[in-house]
């Protein structure tokens, strides 16, 4: 129903019928390359994740610090403390004030493409920000990278469905960061649960939820997502979470605050 848009290297492009096969082949080789070194993953030491609320997470490990979606305290992020921190890399879903605000210091990546920064490789993939192929709110960028021996996928700012090629490019992440609060630009609980079932991550960190009564906020809480994921183990680690590979083979939800 929705056409995914995929970015490889630096310039994003839409996958047509002729391009789909080589793109899928490249994505498959990338996925295989990242699953063939469990010993290296175990030796990498894992990561520590700190939540600032909304979809802002600070991930330390693997010799680098990565900040996701820094925000200004407006809209659904009103009342939160802005993440005015320093990081080696800042991964933003877009330039919107609640997911790509210039409040932190570090190398900002927001456009789809392939990057090497601070010894890490990042792949940005273009997806619709809304449920209408980007016609209402344009495109967002979802991110894939490896840090601390763990494969991450950051889908914190999209409501677009994943195409088959998107799923191959994202692979099976160890850690999936996904918005669950619903509204015009974020997955609903049932949509996020569908993404989890498609990607089968080992850990899920829900973001973009809270149900604050701030003006202009159309996001709800995390309960619809938890209901849609009934039977899945749920941890509540608070604001800080440490993960060390290997993570096992079953999905666990890490409901941070």
Contact between 15 and 173 (Cβ < 8 Å): no
- Tens of pLDDT, residues 87-121: 999 999 999 998 999 999 999 999 999 999 999 99
The answer to whether the beta carbons of residues 150 and 205 sit under 8 Å apart is no
Which token pair is 223?
């309960």
Instruction: Give residue 214's pLDDT.
Output: 66
How many angstroms separate the Cα of 17 from the Cα of each of 9, 121, 163, 165?
19, 28, 13, 12
Task: Region of 24 please: left (phi>0), alpha (psi -120 to 50) or beta.
Answer: alpha
Residue 215 clears pLDDT 90, i.e. is over it? no
Q: Is the pLDDT of residue 38 over 50?
A: no
Structure-block tokens of residue 109: 């990546």
Separation CA 26–CA 8 (nearest Å): 10
d(CA 149, CA 77) in angstroms, rounded, equals 31
- The yes-or-no verdict on residue 44 having pLDDT over 90 is no
pTM assigned to the model: 0.83
Domain ranges in the chain are 6-13+112-256
CB distance 169 to 144 below 8 Å: yes
Domain 6-13+112-256 has CATH 3.60.15.10: yes
In this structure, are residues 152 and 144 in contact, taking their beta carbons and an 8 Å threshold? yes
User: If you average pLDDT over residues 174-184, what whole number do you get?
Assistant: 96
CA 243, 196, 34, 86 dihedral sign is: negative
Average pLDDT, integer, range 236-245:
97
Res 21 pLDDT > 50: no
Is the pLDDT assigned to residue 209 strictly greater than 60? yes
Q: What is the DSSP letter of 110?
A: -
pLDDT at 151: 98
Positive or negative, the CA dihedral 226, 227, 233, 238 is positive
Q: Per DSSP, what are the bridge partners of residue 113?
A: 124
pLDDT attached to residue 31: 47
Helices (H), 160-222: 164-170, 189-199
Answer whether residue 22 shows pLDDT above 90.
no
Structure tokens at 86: 């320093």
pLDDT band with cut points at 50, 70 and 90 for residue 157: confident
Strand-pair partners of 176? 153, 204
């Amino acid at each position: 129903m929705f056409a995914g848009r995929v970015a490889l290297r630096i310039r994003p492009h839409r996958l047509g019928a002729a391009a789909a096969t080589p793109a899928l082949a490249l994505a498959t080789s990338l996925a295989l390359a990242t699953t063939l070194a469990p010993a290296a993953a175990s030796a990498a030491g894992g990561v520590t994740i700190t939540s600032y609320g909304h979809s802002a997470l600070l991930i330390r490990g693997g010799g680098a610090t990565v900040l996701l979606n820094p925000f200004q305290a407006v809209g659904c992020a009103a009342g939160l403390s802005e993440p005015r921190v320093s990081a080696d890399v800042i991964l933003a879903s877009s330039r919107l004030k609640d997911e790509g605000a210039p409040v932190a210091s570090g190398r900002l990546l927001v456009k789809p493409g392939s990057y090497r920064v601070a010894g890490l490789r990042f792949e940005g993939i273009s997806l619709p920000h809304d449920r209408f192929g980007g016609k209402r709110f344009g495109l967002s960028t979802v991110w894939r990278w490896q840090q601390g021996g763990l494969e991450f996928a950051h889908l914190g700012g999209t409501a677009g469905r994943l195409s088959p090629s998107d799923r191959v490019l994202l692979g099976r992440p160890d850690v999936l960061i996904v918005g669950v609060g619903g509204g015009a630009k974020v997955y609903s609980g049932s949509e996020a649960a569908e993404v989890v079932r498609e990607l089968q991550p080992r850990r899920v960190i829900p973001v973009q939820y809270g149900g604050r009564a701030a003006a202009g906020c159309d996001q709800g809480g995390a309960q619809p997502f938890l209901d849609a994921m009934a039977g899945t183990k749920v941890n509540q680690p608070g604001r800080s979470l440490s993960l060390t590979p290997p993570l096992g083979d079953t999905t666990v939800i890490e409901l941070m605050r």
